[in-house]
Amino acid sequence: MDLTLTPEQQAFRDEVRTWLRKNLPQEWTSRVVAGPDVPRPEFYGFLREWQRKLHEAGLLGLTWPKEYGGRGLTFMEELILHQELALAKAPPILNILGIGMAGPTIIAYGTEEQKKRYLAKILSCEEIWCQGYSEPNAGSDLASLQTKAARDGDSFIVNGQKVWTSVAHVSDWMMLLARTDPGAERHKGITYFLLDMHSPGVTVRPLRQLTGDAEFNEVFFENVRVPAENILGGLNNGWQVGITTLMYERLALGFGLQVRMRIALDALIELAKRTKKNGESATQDPLIRQKLAQLWIDTEVFRYTGARAVTKLLKGELPGPEASTGKIWWCDTHQRLQDLAMEIQGPYQQLTKGSDWAVEHGIWQYTFLRSRANSVEGGTTEIQRNIIGERVLGLPKG
């Protein structure tokens, strides 16, 4: 891929850079200097406002059609935007599942009414989305899902349970996969619904994680009525639509995680510079220097793997197994980055938020614990390896 910017792309980069310089909230930049960030519940209000401002500036939904609030640009501009967000250490996007997954799937499969109804409110963060795929007995093997939707006149009645549903506790809508034809083959009797999370019969119960936060939830459906017009992509066609969402998920992850990893690495380098070991800066320790340099190399590799996916998109092709390669690479690199943050802190690594002596208010302890989920969320490392085994190496199906 030729990463040299055209004059139009340079102008776009300058537009983003200038806007960020003028609009990046001061309270955020001073906080980020103290460590990396993830969307924590105490920042939801702030992040809603941040997303609204980005949208008003025309910096969200860059590749979406103009008539639905996007800018009709290419994935090259999307790449430029994310690089600039990383350089500026910008806050994360709160409605990332809406922008990265629900929106593109609605653009691909939605009726005109659905596009008009949902897309603009995704961009402006007026309506937050979650993803209702996983169930207690259907994670990696998603086609085993048991949540049912039975026809009743112009509606469907949904009963069942989802689990690990991120941000369901603040979501207005869910991308729901439910079984509509129990007699059909596993992959065939599934339908993709746009489910109003405020409907009677929806119960959201938070699940507390290792970090202490309750970022994801169990969601129960008891006779929840969903209008048939909320089907996306046709009755019993949910597997195909659902896979499209997953494809966009890997793409969005690729863009978003690249930004977050670069910000985390820069913060780690600053932490190493400030930390004293035996009277010297930790950056004098040859082993820590080696590990930091390797992390920088691996972060760049991740960036270029993302660029390969963009090259395919620009040629009108769909990203292939490089998305799985990128997921594994990101997970391994990010977990090593967090391990190194603990190593640099020495015995202080034991102290968490709330202790007067915790380094940088314990933010690294939080991100270290949070990084353990990386090898599970968005498809486990084993499943990504299976994809590479089958699609790249031509191994028989597992």
Ligand X SMILES: Cc1cc2nc3c(=O)[nH]c(=O)nc-3n(C[C@H](O)[C@H](O)[C@H](O)COP(=O)(O)OP(=O)(O)OC[C@H]3O[C@@H](n4cnc5c(N)ncnc54)[C@H](O)[C@@H]3O)c2cc1C
Q: Which residues of this protein are in contact with ligand X, per CB under 6 A?
A: 130-131, 133-134, 139-140, 164-166, 216, 373, 376-377, 379-380, 382-383, 386, 398
- CB of 389 within 8 A of CB of 322? no
- In the block, tokens 């314990």 appear at 362
Active centre residues (catalytic): 249
Least Å from the CB of residue 112 to ligand X: 28
Least Å from the CB of residue 42 to ligand X: 18
Burial of 93 (0-12, 13-18, 19+ CB in 10 A): buried
Nearer to ligand X, 339 or 390 (CB): 390
Q: Closest CB to ligand X belongs to which residue?
A: 139
Q: How far is it, in rounded angstroms, from Cα 386 to Cα 138?
A: 17
- CB of 387 within 8 A of CB of 324? yes
Compute CA distances 92 → 37, 72, 103, 258, 338, whole Å.
Answer: 8, 22, 18, 12, 19
- E strands within 50-109? none
Nearer to ligand X, 373 or 388 (CB): 373
Least Å from the CB of residue 358 to ligand X: 23
- CB of 312 within 8 A of CB of 320? yes
Least Å from the CB of residue 385 to ligand X: 8
Contacts 24+ apart (CB under 8 A), 204-211: 204/165, 204/168, 204/169, 206/169, 207/163, 207/164, 209/369, 209/370, 209/373, 210/369, 210/370, 210/372, 210/373, 211/366, 211/369, 211/370
Nearer to ligand X, 339 or 377 (CB): 377
Least Å from the CB of residue 26 to ligand X: 30
Contacts 24+ apart (CB under 8 A), 304-313: 305/254, 305/329, 306/79, 306/254, 306/255, 306/258, 307/1, 307/3, 307/79, 308/1, 309/251, 309/254, 310/1, 310/75, 310/76, 310/78, 310/79, 311/1, 313/74, 313/75, 313/251
Least Å from the CB of residue 379 to ligand X: 6
Least Å from the CB of residue 22 to ligand X: 34
- CB of 156 within 8 A of CB of 150? yes
- CB of 167 within 8 A of CB of 97? yes
Nearer to ligand X, 217 or 305 (CB): 217
Q: How far is it, in rounded angstroms, from Cα 349 to Cα 354?
A: 13
Nearer to ligand X, 150 or 383 (CB): 383
Residue 138's region, left for phi above 0, alpha for psi from -120 to 50, else beta, is beta
Nearer to ligand X, 68 or 239 (CB): 239
Nearer to ligand X, 3 or 207 (CB): 207
Nearer to ligand X, 245 or 275 (CB): 245
Residue 220's region, left for phi above 0, alpha for psi from -120 to 50, else beta, is beta
Least Å from the CB of residue 268 to ligand X: 22
